[in-house]
Amino acid sequence: MKIKLCGLTRPEDIKCANRLNPDYIGFVFAKKSKRYVSPDNAFKLKELLLPKIKVVGVFVNEDIRNVAILLNSNIIDIAQLHGDEDETYIKKLRILTDKPIIKAFKIKTRDDLPGVKNSSADYILLDSGSGSGNVFDWDLIKSIDRPFFLAGGLNPENVEEAIRTVKPFAIDVSSGIETDGFKDETKMSDFVSTARNVSKRIG
């Protein structure tokens, strides 16, 4: 099982990530987000990151050309589309880059599932909302038969239950490892160690 620590904004966040060695870290490029980082700052932060950790860029209805530039310049390795981007958007982005794409879906009812199953994105991410920090009803996604990132309200206290319940391809956390709006090294460490321990136990 993979681990993604999202919404990193400071050099000290990167230093902690290097120590914990998650599979992915995330930079948020949505300007309305309190976790927003500029492309220049993202470039500086990535220079501090261990090369084996993949960088995901989170976008909300961003101009396709801007997403492609960040991918093709290797500031990010994967694009995560967290807005209203549809299949046409994904197809156009693929023309501009060969880098992987994650499409995020807000899961509120079973009516949200057909789009999830039919998405042409390389990966899908299931969430309760755009950085809402809330857990959604995991029973809704038990019929999903493709690998997915699980997000939405995860933290060191509930990540074991989440893994045991839905057995995701990857878990994605942001606000659940923060204190007063900033990444908390202790919470980051607790989240990663708990996730890895339960993943090993359940195989």
Catalytic residues, which ones? 6, 127
C-beta contacts of 129-137 below 8 A and 24+ residues apart: 130/30, 130/60, 130/82, 130/83, 130/106, 131/7, 131/33, 131/35, 131/174, 131/175, 133/174, 133/175, 133/176, 136/107, 136/108, 137/107
Distance of CA 43 to the CA centre of its chain: 18
Strand-strand pairing, 2-6 and 182-183: unpaired
- Rounded CA gap, 97 and 140, in Å? 33
- Rounded CA gap, 72 and 98, in Å? 9
- Rounded CA gap, 67 and 71, in Å? 6
Residue with tokens 């500031």: 75
Do the beta carbons of residue 3 and residue 171 sit within 8 Å? yes
